[in-house]
Homo-oligomer: A and B are copies of this chain.
């Protein structure tokens, strides 16, 4: 059982945007950061845009930014969006479907999975902003939009 690359890249994109604050970041730049296909990321971004997670700005100097603060974006909502809401198994055509107790158990397990993610927000997984900015090669001058609190505070470990 694996998260699709689609979800993986969507989450990484969101982390990069969270770290970049109000700065616009281009799809090309993000794709280069992770060494993935520009075209592929484009489609993922469109999904994120349509779902209201990010804002996209066209034209020269365009790019992406979060539509809301990272602290207001639920990881559960993100994963629900990127993974779709379909069940873990497809029982259509299965002979024993009417008598099978599996779907309900799997649905319960899936709910538990998503419930954990609902308890975290984007800001929780992008909390090491100092380290992340270094990795993303963001100049420290371009501080994350809101108040710049003590960078030492960001370290969670």
Residues of A within 8 A of B (CB): 1-4, 7-8, 11-12, 15-16, 33-35, 75, 83, 86, 88-90, 93-96, 98-102, 105-106, 108-110, 112-117, 120, 124-128, 131-132, 135-136, 156
Contact = CB atoms under 8 A, between A and B. Distances in A.
B88 A101 contact: no
B11 A102 contact: yes
15 contacts: A2-B88, A3-B88, A3-B106, A12-B96, A12-B100, A15-B96, A35-B93, A35-B95, A100-B132, A101-B124, A105-B120, A105-B124, A112-B112, A112-B115, A112-B116
- Looking at chain A's contact residues, is the secondary structure mostly helix, strand, loop, or mixed? helix
B125 A89 contact: no
Given A94-B12, A113-B112, A125-B105, A132 B99 contact: yes
